[in-house]
Structure 1
């Protein structure tokens, strides 16, 4: 969940029914209706859709160049926009857009979506690839610093909180209470803190309904909503529509050709990515056939689809979970050989995970072919399959105490830092970006809604990937999931031989570092990134930026040199077998807004009893344990400069800290390309 403390938020309100009772801290966001900077327009694409937005003041998310424009806001879809889906609720989808550092008028457009399901794309924005990162600039002072390897370095970029209720997105606004110790909500808001609980661990605020009936419950429904959202955004900001400059006539006049978008998505994005692309392509067919209004509907095509650490298909990936837990490139045996064999048996045996997934998919094909999650029999089979596979195939690893996101660390891995959770719940920040709800990183109602339909096991992703490749619609890059890449290639006859015969070439990040290896044949590729956990760009920012830029340019992913993708393939070893020693395990950092995920038992007890101090959303034994670092030397105009809402550069008590990438003031627009020697 998010994180907060009474020390870091100067404008918290207090609500008490009796002076002798413990007060509930109220953290209600400012009312956007009172913000004169928020603009509201009706979409030219659909008169029922509205877009409201503002430009955050300087420093809210500090960029390398002050000239980079940013927009935050909402695309609102009224009930029944998604018909025939029974959507009887409003969808208010939050977005954060940032211009490219150079030539934003002609730069590519990239959409970044995190997974979950239920995870906010502010994870990608602030922990991975966004233009800025949140840093500590003093005791109980947070600000932002430009990220050296942010993807705005080579693209306009749009972050979307989806499906409905995720992150800053909401259906209706509802005041309530959030118990930070248990991550439980209660409505209406409480007047008093539970007996014996510290007041700063129990907050009143504004949230979405947290109803499972007011959000998508399948990837298919989310895909339809996302299409409308992109249509709405581009209708409000046509200057960032790549189609405006993607084609010209003989007189050099631009024309409105297809919108070429790069879609990068992570984790559950292994399901979102292909489903969104397939739905958008189906809408394009409807547009060509005259089923959609041609004067107002935008044809949206993907020029590239990137899947980072994708959860694509358990039928393919399921057996590899226990196999990797027992035998991996770090030499860590997270489970015993017996556990590994039992998990394999649970997958392959009669009535096991594999068979249950196949039964689920047969039922979906017969009873819910559109994927609307409205057939109880199909939902039951799929949710039971998901539960069984999770308990008996993946479950043994959970007992190891190691992180599911980085096998080299404990389950309470403090990296990447969660400092942004506190920042996004600051009233000044919420006012700066025009949001009426408090921020939570993961929405439990969305998680539950997807679990109820067993969406995880419904599948069809491989055929969706294959169809897109066959039509030549996109450049497909997978990071994590070698077996998936071979399955996709096997599903497309023209790729089977060339992809299987391609070798692993080094990803040449710069003159001194090899960031991983890549197998590439034409516009299909799989990359293995060295020494990275689940949120890959946080661990290897330069390598991921370099790879991303080569993808959207259509280059050789190994070297960055130009390539004819119709015939290109990499050369090298048949297998990626590099190994390394595991790094030391980090001690947990206890974030107040992420107690279950970051705090050990001792830290939780200290929070429950009110011991210790909270500084910048983190629990310390005593105030002196938090220490500023030495003075920063990058200067106000470099990446090291720090901003806060309304002020582009502020003085610091020490070096700004808390970000996941290295700050440097040079080389902010250079894209590395290796020159290979023959």
Structure 2
């Protein structure tokens, strides 16, 4: 059924799914920590949602940490606690003997439940039901999905009622419900995290200290964890390329202190971390930076995503003596953050293509964001035991990490090096359609890791990744504890595009077989090296057909054209299952170098200044152009 918002402004969306604010959860089990005073675990067994395989259990809930247990929370009110949301899925096969993997979203401040197929289910287009994912990562591994840092997704410190602008992502608290401002489909009722979380949770190291404490409570005292296998992995996507190495290094360092009898926290135990996985990850701006202009012009789809003039500008801002990205990284974090991140996000100002998939127009999104409405259904909120609304990202957390502390340029490959030298297995995985964390940059990072086997790794060739008798999923270079995979025809959410290939890479890394075939036991062949060409940049991809953007009511800023956003704001859009069907979406068109009239912004503007393919005036200050976009999210 199609409904114009003009007739029923709250007929769909968050406000409709909860005419009142979110109700407190019921029937929650509570476990008070015996080892860590003041901490507790509250949880529910989840039924008839997502994981529907007979006999397979899942549990969702919170680990609540008191203020005094969190090193960076001294400015909190005494009664404030940090409440981390988790969703634990037992392995479908032999959960009692399966290892456990943590999965983290990116952002910073971005959910771990983004609808990509590393999850046990897909969210259906009705945004109210799910379909089982046969390639889910919990086929043979117990999976623990965590919303972090605090303020992300369902995780919170304090919550309050208010209104949420779906276009800007801004939350406005209200004291008196009767004094609510006028509501419409883009300004809706919501219960969300109270402002101020960014004052505390604003660096990856802060998050590492806090998540380690979460892990101590959960792995020591969650009563439903039944596995006898103590092996632990951390896999993360995008900005999680900083999270996972820093967190894992912190875990390793705490393990060493515990082994020496100098436990940093009373009753803490060793966490046996053996594998770290990085999906389309931002791992080190120093080594990755030059990959951005290179990929823009020379990607394997033969699709220039911005002009040579812009590429030269970006290259100059990266390499300029004293004031370029590379020069500033070790001098001034704030300035380096602006210039280095600007080298990435200038793309959004000048390219007609999506930064997470260069084969899509900039308004399209894949996988589709159907989970946003699902997780705001009242029945789902009760099933999961959550007291607040779900949002994909938190603007305050993002601004605190990227703007306040310049977090992205604080960390680099030294954390991955530390893990490799301590015997941790590292799997780097990149879809080859992503620009924001592109595989050229990922490859550069992998070859710049300084560890004892670096020369052997660089000498290993790229071998096809075989997932069945007829399908090559990509290429992998592997030696020792390090692998780097290029996955064909995949964007930023690499598992959402190629679930079978990515699931195979995940399981082979987790159980220490070679990524290429899964047939060689690496614990028995420590000198294994993949075989093939030194470079696979000459292996080209076929451009897929353009697809029309799906304008999703709860994520209009990410998925809708300006015309569709305007119609939503004015109440004239027609929708079906939280998707705008009128005004219609667009497929866009491919604009290749030299296409002339196909790109109306090429050539000269009214003032006669030279412009890029996106209309940015190159005669203006390049620094200003970078500053203009420097605060955009990595995700």
TM-score over 0.5 for the pair: yes
Contact 1:105/1:239 (8 A) holds in 2:
no
Is the partner of 2:401 in helix, strand or coil?
A: helix
Distance 2:54 2:13 in 1: 27
Report the equivalent of 2:568: 607
Which residue of 313, 327, 331 corresponds with 2:298? 327
For residues 193-223 of structure 1, give each alpha carbon's deviation from its aligned partner in whole angstroms, at most 9, with x where no partner exists.
Answer: 766xx72332112111132445410000101
Q: Does 1:343 align with 2:314?
A: yes
Which residue of 105, 108, 112 corresponds with 2:103? 112
Query: Which runs of structure 2 are paired with 1:470-619 in the superposition (5 Å)?
Result: 470-479=421-430, 481=439, 491-563=449-521, 564-577=524-537, 578-619=539-580
Question: More deviation in 611-620 or 146-155?
Answer: 611-620
Distance 2:181 2:225 in 1: 49
Report the equivalent of 1:77: 65
- The alignment of Structure 1 onto Structure 2 pairs a total of residues equal to 561
Tell me: CA distance 1:27–1:169, structure 2 relative to 1, closer, same or farther (3 Å): farther
Report the equivalent of 1:128: 117
Distance 1:146 1:310 in 2: 26
Distance 1:10 1:505 in 2: 47
Distance 1:102 1:210 in 2: 42
Distance 2:446 2:252 in 1: 18
Is the partner of 1:507 in helix, strand or coil?
A: strand
Contact 2:290/2:315 (8 A) holds in 1:
yes
Distance 2:546 2:23 in 1: 41
How far did residue 518 of structure 1 move? 0.3
How far did residue 108 of structure 1 move? 1.4
Contact 2:317/2:324 (8 A) holds in 1:
yes
For residues 418-440 of structure 1, give each alpha carbon's deviation from its aligned partner in whole angstroms, at most 9, with x where no partner exists.
Answer: 11101101111101111000000
Contact 1:118/1:444 (8 A) holds in 2:
yes
Distance 1:328 1:458 in 2: 28
Q: Which has the higher contact order (CA 8 A, sep 6+)?
A: 1
Report the equivalent of 2:329: 357
Contact 1:223/1:279 (8 A) holds in 2:
yes
How far did residue 9 of structure 1 move? 7.2
Report the equivalent of 1:250: none
RMSD of Structure 2 on Structure 1 (CA): 2.5
Report the equivalent of 2:170: 184
Instruction: Provide TM-score, normalisation by structure 1.
Output: 0.78
Contact 2:10/2:16 (8 A) holds in 1:
yes
Distance 1:347 1:300 in 2: 39
Tell me: CA distance 1:583–1:183, structure 2 relative to 1, closer, same or farther (3 Å): same
Contact 1:165/1:215 (8 A) holds in 2:
no
Report the equivalent of 2:251: 280
Report the equivalent of 1:56: 46
Tell me: CA distance 1:500–1:43, structure 2 relative to 1, closer, same or farther (3 Å): same
How far did residue 45 of structure 1 move? 3.1
Contact 1:262/1:302 (8 A) holds in 2:
yes
How far did residue 509 of structure 1 move? 1.2
How far did residue 414 of structure 1 move? 2.9
For residues 311-342 of structure 1, give each alpha carbon's deviation from its aligned partner in whole angstroms, at most 9, with x where no partner exists.
Answer: 01111111111111122111111111121111
Report the equivalent of 1:31: 24
Tell me: CA distance 1:428–1:561, structure 2 relative to 1, closer, same or farther (3 Å): same
| Structure 1 spans left out of the alignment, 5+ residues | 14-24, 247-258, 361-381, 624-678
Tell me: CA distance 1:618–1:179, structure 2 relative to 1, closer, same or farther (3 Å): same
Distance 1:475 1:612 in 2: 47
Instruction: Provide TM-score, normalisation by structure 2.
Output: 0.83
Is the partner of 2:286 in helix, strand or coil?
A: helix
Report the equivalent of 2:369: 418
